[in-house]
Amino acid sequence: MHAPKPVYLAVIGTGGVGSAFLSQLSLLQQAHPQINLVLISRSTRSLTALSFSEPLSISTWSSALDRPSAQPAFTPSEILAYLEKSNTTRGKCILIDNTSNQTLASSYPSFLSRGISIVTPNKKAFSASLDLWREIESSSFPTDPYGGLIYHESSVGAGLPIISTLKDLVATGDRVHRIEGVFSGTLSFLFNNFAPVNGRGGKWSEEVRKAKALGYTEPDPRDDLNGLDVARKVVILARLAGVEVQDTSAFPVESLIPEELESCQSGDEFLSRLGEFDEEMEDVRRQAEADGKVVRYVGSIDVERGHLRVGLERLDKNHPVAGLRGSDNIVNFYTQRYGERPLIVQGAGAGAEVTAMGVTSDLIKVLQRLQ
């Protein structure tokens, strides 16, 4: 049996997801000794191996990155130049992008066209302009036989197998009619508590403050309540299903931010004033209850008509989406084979550990294909 070919990893981003990934990588390396970590970069600093034959230690990366010998953060072009400096590494390098950086995402075609594979949870690469989406496709394998591989399962559902499920449906010839679901752990938590199927929730502003205190929201909750994160995920799934949507501005995205609070100078100011608008959300809840329904924040794709929508929907209490608990995500695939009983993927759709698990799982797939 031949020894596995060495592969060289550049890991960009060491925040919550990045740190969790590096912890998982230290375990993965025991089963895959061909992994060589040659570059780590965060927003302010970078660390490179002495040479590709003398890789960085995965167990000591954090302290090493804080040493004075660490370099300033690399730009995308500097990362590419570093990975290309040895002619023997072509087809053996993998970029792990654990950031949400648009500049790096826009550089993916340059990496792929040079045979560098990419694993990432960065949804901006796949939900920005349709031109960038097409350029990524054309520069990656198999469209370009010399292009790198690209995997981004965790760009939609953290560790949930949402993208791979959709790709399998399409690849096996099933006809996808409609996709709908709850794509935000934050908004799932908020509405499961604000408008539960059984019982009664608290005031909207109280539930938002509770979610922030528990760490479910961004530092400024408006980054969750504007719906843009959900819209990006919907764009990705729509494109994978064959809908050529231009970007998130091409369809309705309902913001839950009162117009009067869009100009607040901080998240704290926003939260301090949100209670002024509780009655508006209370009306939404009352109207749903009057019809025996609950309100949820849903992303939906009508694949056959090419229509996308993100916003509030009133659902029957026995609807699969209505019965979610906690901060779970759920995606329903309505297809020709599955009929009116959809294929459902459900579970934790947010959090550093499960998102990193999705990244690590994709890395394993790339390692297997590169051997």
- Active site (catalytic) residues: 233
Tracing tokens 């370099």 back to the chain, one arrives at 71
Name the β-bridge partners of 72: 45
The answer to whether 282 touches 290, Cβ cutoff 8 Å, is no
Q: How many CA atoms lie within 13 A of 213 on its CB side?
A: 7
Tell me, what amino acid is at 151?
A: Y
Beta bridge partners of 41: 12, 46
For residues 235 and 123, give the distance between their C-alpha atoms in angstroms, rounded to a whole number: 10
Q: Identify the CA nearest to 158 among candidates 348, 363, 18.
A: 348
Starting at the edge strand found earlier in the chain, the sheet holding 117-119 runs 71-72, 45-48, 35-41, 7-12, 93-97, 117-119, 150-151
Residue among 180, 278, 188, 193 nearest 234 (CA): 180
The phi-psi region of residue 112 (left if phi > 0; otherwise alpha if psi is between -120 and 50; otherwise beta) is: alpha
Question: CB within 8 A of 80, min separation 6: which ones?
Answer: 107, 110, 111, 114, 116
Rounded to whole angstroms, the Cα distance separating 285 from 21 reads 40
Backbone angles phi, psi at 218, to 5 degrees: -70, 165
* Whole-number Å distance between alpha carbons of 353 and 355: 5
Report residue 101 as tokens.
């950086």
